[in-house]
Amino acid sequence: MRVKRGVTARARHNKIRSATKGMSHPNRVSVRRGKQAVTKSLQYAYRDRRNRKREFRALWNIRINAAARDNGTTYSRLIAGLKAAGVTLDRKVLAELAVNEPKAFEAVVKAAKLEK
C-alpha cells in the first residue's frame, strides 16, 4: 500500500521551525539549515550546562579571595584553616557571605585563623 508522507514531513518541519524561533533568517526559513542549527544549539546547551558550574565556582573563588585579603589572609590559607577547623561551608555560601554579610564573613575568617 502506498504511504503518503506529507503529514509527517510537515510535522517534522514544523518542529524544526518552532525550535529555530529567534534565530537568523536562513536558519528560520530553510529546514535543512534549521536542522543543523538546532543540532548545534543543543550541543552548545549540553556543553554550557557543565561550563556554567565551572564558571560559577571560579567566580566564587575570586570573591572569597578578595574578601579574605580584605581580612588579612589569602584564599588558600582561609580554605585550609576552615578545613582544619571543621567548618563545612561551601564556596557558594562563603562567596554570598563575602558579598552580602561582611561581618559574618569576618567571623568565619577568625574561626579559620584560630585553628592555625
| SS3 category, 76 | helix
Q: Is residue 1 domain-resident?
A: no
- Looking at residue 113, its pLDDT comes to 87
Within 10 A of 89 (CB to CB), how many other CB atoms are there?
14
Instruction: Please count the structural domains in the chain.
Output: 1
Q: Is residue 102 domain-resident?
A: yes
Half-sphere exposure of 13 (CA within 13 A, CB side): 10
- Looking at residue 115, its pLDDT comes to 65
Distance CA 88, CA 82 (A): 7
The domain that holds 48 is classified in CATH as: 1.10.1900.20
Q: Is residue 71 domain-resident?
A: yes
* Domain that includes residue 28, residue range: 6-115
Give Cβ neighbours of residue 34 (< 8 Å, ≥ 6 apart).
16, 17, 19, 20, 23, 27, 28
Q: Is residue 21 domain-resident?
A: yes
Q: Mean pLDDT, consecutive 10-residue segments, the chain of 116 residues?
A: 90 96 95 97 98 98 97 96 94 97 96 79
